[in-house]
Structure 1
Amino acid sequence: MKGKEKAPWENGPLKVTEDGRYFRCGEEPFFFLGDTAWLLFHQLTLEESYLYLRNRKELGYNVILADFVHTADQRNRFGDAALTDGDPARPDTKGGFWEHVDAVVEMARELGLFLGLLPVWGSSMVKGGCLNSGNVDAYMRFVLERYHDCPHIIWIVGGDVRGDAAADVFRRMGRLMKEDRPDRLVTYHPFGRTSSSLWFHEEDWLDFNLFQSGHRRYDQVSMQEWDDNREKEGWFGEDNWKYVERDREKKPPKPVLDGEPSYEWILQGLHDKSQPYWKAADVRRYAYWSVFAGAAGHVYGHNSIMQFYRDTAKEGAFGAKYLWTDAIHHPGGAQMVHLKKLCERVGFEKGHPAGEWVLHGQGEKYDYISVFAGEDFLLAYTVNGRQFALSLEAFAGRELDAYWMDPVTGLYTYAGGIMGGREVSFAPSQREDSSDCVLVLMADAESLLASGT
């Protein structure tokens, strides 16, 4: 890459802001935009890893999520084993597994990418008892010592598993991570339709919450599948913004992210091949809904990328139909950067959810209008382009410039000047290819224009 840019951690370590809502690297705001690459270390060669990582870097992602050991018999693309005889207390350092991991970790550092790393995949390794109270210290000591000096790691406990499936083991992992590097952020990746806050919010080692809004439609409450929740800690369907609201009410305040919304090109509900797929418009909706509700960023996922599906002659998981090398060019993944750039331009870390400013036109499900505002800006996202009215009382006596932003292209079009302090109705611009759009109101439009739009 020409003209290597400054890595974010060169501004200072990644940390939580003083108000407990967002992230910074040093004094620079950090919008967490993650991509899901669970099997990165297992399925790809070094050349393929570079292709994937550079692609994501150039699309604006700054965090890649992956796990070291998915199953006890874990091997990489070359057949190298992660563990000796499947024993976490005896990582296999004689083969090439961990050297390959080292190389990919270093590759990410050179590209300026953070890695959100799970030492093991919890649903298979911990819930199944392979990693347990008897060997967790030995395995974690190996992992933490090996990657102690890496400046670009965020540790993630869990892995698609309820926290109460093995709470003592998960707590031990989190505490060891924090003891090793108190300045390194730690979180927990939970089971579908749950949040880390349900079990670990008050733990000192948990720096921010992840929830998994999951892959189900509103009507897929109970599917008689293995991943039906044993308990329903608040069924929100596709309304992932409600998870954000719930976690933001907890004390002490901690940043929150949707760590696993519906993936692009994954079956709705995961298991039934007769069901339709989630597509680009859906992943956009989850992203804007959660961020405008106050999330500190967003994690995108694509079904073919998370598993690095590479052989169409073999059946992939959850209806995978595209090779990962095709999927990295799909529209939903490329469109996430428009949200990131918008938030960076307006100074998102100084904003707050403002749904109560919707006076008319607010609805449920796809009729929901999501609003996020700051001292000098207001953002409103509509899924289906419905008309709505906002109170602009907070901007009384100030003139605002209005723009419509297309979440598909990132294009801003000027829509006129508005005087604050009153109720104003907005009719989103209609487009042929999609219906979602973002209203952008700016008290200082020059800052929007100067930022390259």
Structure 2
Amino acid sequence: MRQVTVADNKEILLNRGQPFFYLADTVWGVFSAAKLEEWEVYLEYRRLQGFNALQISVLPLVHETVADELPFRVGADGKWDFMSCNEAYFDKAEKMLQMACERDFLPVLVVLWHNYVPGTGVNNMHPEYTIPWEAVQPYTEYVVKRFARYNPLYYISGDTQFENEQVTSYYEKALQTLKRCAPEAVTAMHMGSHQHEIPDRIVHSDDLDLYIYQSGHLTETQSDCYELPEQFMEKTIRRPIINSEPCYEGHGYGNRYGRYGAFDIRRAFWWSVLGGAKAGFTYGAHGIWSWHRKGTPFHNEHFAKTPFDWRVALRFSGAWDIGYAKELFEQHAMFELVPRNDLLVTSYPEIRVAGSRDLSIVVVYVPYSIDVELSLDLTAEGYAVKMIDLDRRNVVQPAISTTFATDGVSKSSRIPMTDTNTDVLIIAIKEATTK
């Protein structure tokens, strides 16, 4: 069973003391929707693909999907009794976590999705699912006690915007309660898209361990993959950073026609990790996160488009690409990378550059074919350079040319584009450091 902690440098995670790249899949609604035999099929497939964490909401996302099973008993008024847990629901959830941990997955549990918290926009539309203030502490204590043996990582919030004092107080209460009950647990706040602002008292709380963000599902804000980590790195309190909700494969273009594909997922991965969110990455497939069954209701079609049946979404090719991306990240020890777009001469910020602090390794992600110029003399400084076609996974040995600046002294290196019309990853390693 995994035992995940924060590294002393506050940049990455460790699993039993060793660097751990968090690669999660998104299965928010699985506790209430999946059958155990379906869950077993899913777990085996994702294990084969190299995933090591699973993001699950303890409570169903009732504002978007239909809950087959309920976490609380229903009172005489027809509303959930948040002081009376449905033991059968949590028995099944615990069994599902046991099955996941047997396959070496890290459970990542959302305590309170924003639809349950008064004062949020979604809760205002569904007030019948409001958790009372007096139920926050006993519910959180129950969750921690129920799942403690599986060493979960906790997202206290789900999709929060911290809209007002009431919302902040709810999540602060849950965070404090959880850390009092499980002081060694790793915690974070899952926030809505385009969001990096966290109330000061939560940012400065010793109870918060990670910064996670959502680059989200709008086509016009996909640059948040690398722009939001910049905001978190500027905060006074350093913490590891993870993009915990990029665009989902198969998801609609956020109120527009079109759906994200494997390329978009690869781009989100490399934009994020080279942009500073190097502690991990989360994948999502539209139909898996909600455990959708063809023909069942879905309440967010205008924004997200109709989900695919979970069996179809499970087989999307982008999940394999992300497993391969994790392999490249670990194989080349990219835990040491920091953003270095100052090295990029080519005038497109969509090309992302990162390097180790001593520049013994430099990594460049190029989403669209173009010559790339870096303000490094890769040849003279002894770099071995390779270019990986991320679509076909072919490796190219590019012919590097050296260019002099107008001062006649400074040099830069030009790496020619490939003929493949695909996204590529350029990895340059000083030969003295190769093994």
TM-score bracket, shorter-length normalisation: 0.7 to 0.9
Measure, in 2, the Cα distance between the counterparts of 1:419 and 1:377: 19
> Of 325, 334, 337, which residue of structure 2 is paired with 1:348?
334
> Does the 8 A contact of 2:141 with 2:178 survive in 1?
no
> Of 416, 421, 426, which residue of structure 2 is paired with 1:439?
426
Per the normalisation by structure 1, the TM-score is 0.83
> Does the 8 A contact of 1:196 with 1:209 survive in 2?
no
- Determine the structure 2 residue equivalent to 1:292: 274
- Determine the structure 2 residue equivalent to 1:243: 228
- Determine the structure 1 residue equivalent to 2:217: 215
Cα offset, 1:353, TM superposition: 1.0
Cα offset, 1:146, TM superposition: 1.2
Measure, in 1, the Cα distance between the counterparts of 2:287 and 2:62: 23
- Are 1:332 and 2:333 an aligned pair? no
- Are 1:188 and 2:189 an aligned pair? yes
> Does the 8 A contact of 1:396 with 1:422 survive in 2?
no
> Does the 8 A contact of 1:188 with 1:196 survive in 2?
no
- Are 1:179 and 2:186 an aligned pair? no
> Of 11, 33, 38, which residue of structure 2 is paired with 1:48?
38
Cα offset, 1:315, TM superposition: 5.3
> Of 362, 367, 370, which residue of structure 2 is paired with 1:386?
370
Distance 1:237 1:288, change over 3 A: closer
- Are 1:121 and 2:110 an aligned pair? no
User: Letter of the aligned partner of 2:417 in structure 1?
Assistant: P
In the alignment, structure 2 segments of 5+ residues that lack a partner are 404-409
User: Letter of the aligned partner of 1:334 in structure 2?
Assistant: W
User: SS of the counterpart of 1:174?
Assistant: helix
Distance 1:327 1:397, change over 3 A: same
User: Letter of the aligned partner of 1:113 in structure 2?
Assistant: F
Per the normalisation by structure 2, the TM-score is 0.86
User: Letter of the aligned partner of 1:62 in structure 2?
Assistant: N
> Does the 8 A contact of 2:27 with 2:54 survive in 1?
yes
* CA-to-aligned-CA distance 1:48-79 (integer Å, 9 cap, x gap): 111112211211111110111126899864x4
- Determine the structure 1 residue equivalent to 2:286: 303
Cα offset, 1:328, TM superposition: 1.3
- Determine the structure 1 residue equivalent to 2:246: 261
> Does the 8 A contact of 1:53 with 1:108 survive in 2?
yes
> Of 82, 85, 89, which residue of structure 2 is paired with 1:91?
85
After the TM superposition, which residues 133-212 of structure 1 pair with which residues of structure 2 at under 5 Å, given as runs? 133-151=133-151, 153-165=152-164, 166-195=167-196, 197=198, 200-212=202-214
Distance 1:441 1:256, change over 3 A: same
> Does the 8 A contact of 2:66 with 2:298 survive in 1?
no
Measure, in 2, the Cα distance between the counterparts of 1:72 and 1:90: 18
Measure, in 2, the Cα distance between the counterparts of 1:418 and 1:444: 18
- Determine the structure 2 residue equivalent to 1:105: 97
> Does the 8 A contact of 1:66 with 1:115 survive in 2?
yes
* CA-to-aligned-CA distance 1:339-378 (integer Å, 9 cap, x gap): 211111121222211110112x1214xxx21011124211
* Percent identical: 20
Q: How many residues in Structure 1 have an aligned counterpart in Structure 2? A: 407
User: Letter of the aligned partner of 1:384 in structure 2?
Assistant: Y
User: SS of the counterpart of 1:252?
Assistant: coil
User: Letter of the aligned partner of 1:61 in structure 2?
Assistant: F
> Does the 8 A contact of 1:197 with 1:247 survive in 2?
no
In the alignment, structure 1 segments of 5+ residues that lack a partner are 1-6, 219-235, 449-453
Distance 1:371 1:51, change over 3 A: same
User: Letter of the aligned partner of 2:185 in structure 1?
Assistant: R
Distance 1:304 1:380, change over 3 A: same
Measure, in 2, the Cα distance between the counterparts of 1:278 and 1:75: 24
Measure, in 2, the Cα distance between the counterparts of 1:399 and 1:216: 42
RMSD, matched Cα: 2.7
